[in-house]
Amino acid sequence: MSGFDPSWLDLREPVDHRSLAAGPLERLTATFGGAPVSVADLGAGSGSALRALAPRLGRSQRWTLIDSDPALLAHARLRLRAWADAVEGDGETLRLNKAGATIHVAFLAEELARDHFPQAAAAADLVVASAFFDLAGEAWLAAFIERLAAAQNTLYAPLIYDGLKRFAPAHDLDQAVLVAFNDHQRSEKGLGPALGPDAARRLAELAGAQGYRATAAASPWRLGAADRSLTEALVRGMASAAAQLPAAPDALPKWQAFRLGAAAGGGAVGHVDLLLTPPGS
Ligand SMILES: C[S@@+](CC[C@H](N)C(=O)[O-])C[C@H]1O[C@@H](n2cnc3c(N)ncnc32)[C@H](O)[C@@H]1O
């Protein structure tokens, strides 16, 4: 169990998909065109990236979903079975048909703290890691980039949290809670003290030092009244993370009560999408 609730991943999926930035996505589609492609998805969760990207890739795809949490991978199997037009397979591997594409999916329960870059990633044409790198620390990221560069893989890393959150209407404690939440984002998440809001910048720098080209663009969640459930979950998550810190604002419960009451006002959460392509590609 990684601490990522399947219901949280389900709630954010439609907002994640509509928030993906056009630039990196268009370059990704242009790079792989309609050719057969193999993809390794690191920290795949319930398979959201597959459902976002498969319609933009060719008619023959092989995906390996890699995550440390077997319960999330089980959820991914269920979600993919429901999403596909037709399914074959025993659950260990699936053969999906979706809108004319054939998509083979394998599931790998792997702790990326132990193995930064599983063989399935080295062997893939494309490595994907969505909403993942802000969990990683500097040393882990540096080692990961070395392995990525050795394999000369392309990396698509959308939805890296950039430290900005805004709610409407504003509350006096918004900034103090955000500072506490962002401090929590920099704590240990299993891959060393996490880079949190600095992760996208460091990822691009480390890859640039290996000759990689970065296509970067902002991919904020823009939340409105229809996203009220997600905003409520976001507020609860922020308050619970901020409460774990000694410097948590005393009035956190009041802030949470106000924010939950005003959740229909929505807000925004900042992210960065990165496409990193190896030298010469
Ligand atoms: C924020 S969720 C993103 C899930 C999915 N990529 C998406 O976009 O919906 C982060 C995912 O990374 C996985 N994860 C976190 N730390 C991990 C680790 N050390 N090894 C493997 N997976 C990990 C979690 O289990 C979770 O599924």
The domains found in the chain, sorted by start residue, are: 6-163+193-222+270-277 (3.40.50.150)
- Indicate left, alpha or beta for 7 from its phi (over 0: left) and psi (-120 to 50: alpha): alpha
User: Do 93 and 105 meet the contact criterion of CB atoms below 8 Å apart?
Assistant: yes
Cα–Cα distance, 139 to 60 (Å, whole number): 36
User: Do 184 and 134 meet the contact criterion of CB atoms below 8 Å apart?
Assistant: no
Ligand 1 in contact with 24 (CB < 6 A)?
no
Cα–Cα distance, 4 to 40 (Å, whole number): 20
**Amino acid at the residue 78:** L
pLDDT band at 67 (very low <50, low <70, confident <90, very high): very high
Ligand 1 in contact with 49 (CB < 6 A)?
yes
Which atom of ligand 1 is found nearest the CA of 12?
9
Cα–Cα distance, 176 to 30 (Å, whole number): 43
Nearest to 124 by CA among 190, 204, 194, 53: 53
Ligand 1 in contact with 256 (CB < 6 A)?
no
Give the distance (Å) from ligand 1 centre to CA of residue 43: 3
- pLDDT tens track for 74-97: 999 999 999 999 999 976 899 999
Mean pLDDT of the chain: 96
- pLDDT tens track for 215-265: 999 999 999 999 999 999 999 999 998 898 887 778 999 999 999 999 999
Q: Which secondary-structure segment (H or E) carries 80?
A: helix 70-83
What average pLDDT does range 8-18 have in this prediction?
A: 97
Give the distance (Å) from ligand 1 centre to CA of residue 228: 24
Mutation pick for ligand 1 pocket among 135, 156, 160 (CB with most ligand atoms within 8 Å): 135
In terms of residues, how long is the chain? 281
For residue 2, the model assigns a pLDDT of: 53
